[in-house]
Structure 1
Amino acid sequence: MLKDRAETGQLQALLTQIGAGLDDYLKFEHPDALHPGSQWRQYLDIPLPRQGVGIAQVTQELVSHVIPNGSAVPKPGFTSFITTGATSAAALASTAASIAAPQRYGHTAFNFLEELSLQWLASMCGIAPLQGVYSSGGSVANLLALGAARQFAFEQAGHDAAAHGVDRPVSLYASAQAHHTIQRSAAVLGLGRRSVRAIDCDDQGRAHADALLEAVLRIGKEMEEEMGKASDRR
């Protein structure tokens, strides 16, 4: 059974090959993976193998068929998404962490550096002291932020939403230009997609402060009246 064990060594030699492939990729001299004429999917889309091919072939296939057909996001001048490609330092740190600190538990050097970098970020933005976590992207960041806001808002009303759930109608005000994950997060958090109130924006994408105030006052009054009617029916 020893031959079936996953490879956990040879990292220096294997990462050297991967690194060379990535350096070639970052020259952006390869064909566009999204072009309709690309053939990479036909090579990779195979039936379930009966046995493994070994770490050497896996590495070679990564270099030959996977890396060259990656995303164009890291390319200088690419502006179709808010994300960017990892710098060399970030790629090295991520690789090291995936091997030496694969989870968040334990006060290792990796976890300490994450906390320290968050403190530095807060200091740079002038909002220290601040605690937080890095998220995997904007979608998760919106969910985390709205979850924290929900908990804080309900605690101010004397209710623990995390322990007992949402016990009353709420409204969430967002720019009409806000990302669609705001509605998704509202659904996941039990607030409801319809609780998100879109606020009109100007020609520069900024929400109108007057429209926000008007919506808060109007919807707040409507919700109070509705809750009063529900109380009378009981």
Structure 2
Amino acid sequence: MTEEKKNDLTLDPENWDAMRQLGHQMIDDLFEYWQNIREQKIWKPIPSEVKQFLDKPLPEKGQSPESIYQEFKQNIFPYNKGNVHPRFFAWIQGTGTPLGVLADLLASGMNPNVAIGEHSAMYVDRQVVNWCKELMNFPADASGILVSGGSMANITALTVARNSFRDEKIRAQGLKAASAQLVLYCSVETHSCIQKAAEVIGLGTEAVRKIGVNDRYELDIESLKAQIELDIEAGLLPFCIVGTSGTVNTGAIDPLDELLAISRKHGMWFHIDGAYGALAKLDPQYAGRLKAIEEADSLAFDLHKWLYVPYEVGCTLIRDAKMHRDSFSITPNYLLQEDRGLSGGLDSINNYGFELSRGFKALKIWMSLKEHGREKYAQMIAQNNRQAEYLADLVNGNPNLELTAPVSMSITCFRMIKSGYSESQLRDLNREILLRLQEEGIASPSSTVLNGKYTLRVANVNQRTRMEDMDLLVKEVLRIGAEIQKIVH
């Protein structure tokens, strides 16, 4: 054997025992972090020296794993976003769970590409998609695909909607084959990813009709009907209505039953963006309002929100499996499928979406659903919703606070008020309250503007939150607000 062959390089550790010990230390540190997270500050500003450290050029030579981990503990771990903390309420971001994290570790260790081939991960992926259909009461013969999150889930569904529209042959010939401009309808409160999706699939921004909302921030049906008639008279092709089951601003639920009926009347595709709120279907108080999900042509929802699994994973469900496959399937020579061997097995997942490179994201869902079951998740989702209602009660019970939107699902929007203050002064007051809540490491709401009012927005999809956290939040808002007013005056 030549000297060259004796010294073949590898990226495996020189000392397996030392790497094993380091791995155990990482796990121990994570468990310590989770166990004591309630006592920790939710967020810390990143020091300038840390930012400088994280701006260094690519190293030419390697260093020991132990020293790398120490750098992580010193410069990265302490400045986490904070969404594992029980008082993280910003945007709509879940907390994750210990078993979900361990599942991701196992998935990375196995390291399969879950797109093609005869291996166990493909069957886990299929089972998880089937479980998602069960959760949403979708037909057993519907299809679905796990994706990175709501944005990808929505664009996947709208691609199928476009490619399946009547006999327009858009997949083969492009939008030039359409007999007229396709038009999509949603509310002004719909997530921005719907507009992005329309742009990506070639419709363009001007083909997105953003319909006004009522005083509950739900899509206004009469305005929708009028706009559809105007577009038909103009020779356009209304092809898709997007209803939202839980807007990101206020948690508003569009009138899904009526949207379904309108879409059927006009032969349009009915898609539901349930990235945040579709899983509220498990809460009996919202199940009736979300019943139309079961009749939608497609549904997008996130599992890293209200299934509390670690980032990132979302799901698209498509009622007509053939339409789904016909929108994406392609088999190049290097992806030929066989009846047996590694190239056998299930239909390639690539035939149902954009990605050919797919990680084993299904494992954390599979393990989490087996660990807790449907019933526990229903209880957790209902708990978050009741916590939002409790916070609203606290706000309504204090003359220095006001709700700025009706409470829907687990989003509570409110602000501090002060007699004699202008809207500009109230904006400055509440903005400073928000920033101090975050900078003092107390809690992390986010903000929005509702009818011109700057608002503290508490979006709770947090499996660690307790009622006492809502008490603390209100107490600290009042304290900080009083301190600011004292300084001002």
**TM above 0.5:** yes
**Aligned with residue 170 of structure 1, among 179, 182, 186:** 182
Tell me the CA shift for residue 48 of structure 1. 2.4
Aligned mate of 2:202, from 190, 195, 218: 190
Letter in 2 for 1:25: Y
Residue 116 of structure 2 corresponds to residue 108 of structure 1: no
Amino acid at match of 1:5: T
Equivalence map 1:51-130=2 (5 Å)? 51-104=61-114, 105-129=116-140, 130=142
CA contact (8 A) 2:84 2:94 kept: yes
CA contact (8 A) 1:171 1:195 kept: yes
CA distance in 1, matches of 2:41, 2:104: 25
Indicate conservation of the 8 Å contact 2:46/2:79, yes or no.
no
- Once the two structures are superposed, what CA deviation does each residue of 1:55-92 show, in whole Å capped at 9, x if it has no partner? 22223322332222221122113121222122122212
What is the CA distance between 1:6 and its match in structure 2? 2.1
How many pairs are equivalent?
Answer: 221
Q: Once the 2 structures are TM-superposed, how far is the Cα of residue 30 of structure 1 from its aligned partner?
A: 5.4
Say whether the 8 Å CA contact 2:175–2:202 is kept in structure 1.
yes
- Give, as a single letter, the amino acid of the residue that structure 2 aligns with 1:50: E
Matched, 1:214 2:226: yes
CA distance in 1, matches of 2:101, 2:76: 17
Letter matched to residue 171 of structure 2: A
Q: Which runs of 4+ in 1 moved over 6 A?
A: none
- Larger helix fraction of residues: 1
| Segment drifting more, 116-125 vs 61-70 | 61-70
1:18 is matched with 26
Q: Which residue of 2 aligns with 1:229?
A: none
Quote the Cα distance in structure 2 between the aligned partners of 1:22 and 1:148. Answer: 41
CA contact (8 A) 1:7 1:55 kept: no
Change (3 A) 1:213 1:75: same
- Between the aligned partners of 1:111 and 1:12, the Cα distance in structure 2 is 29
Residue number in structure 2 paired with 1:7? 12
Quick one: which amino acid aligns to residue 137 of structure 1?
G
**How many Å separate the matches in 2 of 1:58 and 1:37?**
19
Shift of 1:116: 0.7
Higher relative contact order (CA 8 A, sep 6+): 2
Correspondence for 1:228: none
Shift of the alpha carbon at 1:32? 2.5
Q: Structure 1 residues 70, 31: closer, same or farther in 2, change over 3 A?
A: same
Whether the 8 Å contact between 2:42 and 2:85 is mirrored in structure 1 is: no
The DSSP-based 3-state class of the residue aligned with 2:145 is: coil
Give 1:123 deviation, angstroms.
Answer: 1.2
Determine the structure 1 residue equivalent to 2:152.
140
| Structure-2 separation of matches of 1:182 and 1:122 | 22
Higher normalized strand content (fraction of residues): 2
**Offset at 1:222?**
0.9
| Residue type of the alignment partner of 1:166 | L
1:22 deviates by: 2.2
User: If the length of structure 1 is used for normalisation, what is the TM-score?
Assistant: 0.83
Unaligned runs of 5+ in 2: 238-489
- Please give the secondary structure, in 1, of the residue aligned with 2:88: coil
Distance in 2 between the 1:191 and 1:94 partners?
Answer: 37
Taking the aligned partners of 2:171 and 2:100, their CA distance within structure 1 comes to 35
What is the TM-score normalised by the length of structure 2? 0.42
Structure 1's 19 and 43: CA in aligned 2 closer, same or farther, altered over 3 A?
Answer: same
Identity of aligned residues (%): 25
Retained in 1: the 8 A contact 2:163–2:170? yes
Helix, strand or coil for the counterpart of 2:76?
A: helix
- Per-residue CA shift, 1:177-219, capped at 9, x if unaligned? 0111111111111111111100111122210122111111111
Query: Cα RMSD over matched residues?
Result: 2.5
Distance 2:8 2:215 in 1: 64
Quick one: which amino acid aligns to residue 172 of structure 1? L
Deviation by residue 1:147-178 (Cα, 9 ceiling, x = unmatched) = 1111122xx2x132222211231101011101
Once residues 146 and 236 of structure 2 are traced to their aligned partners in structure 1, the CA distance between those partners, rounded to angstroms, is 38
Q: In structure 2, do the counterparts of structure 1 residues 109 and 63 end up closer, same or farther at CA, with 3 Å as the change threshold? A: farther
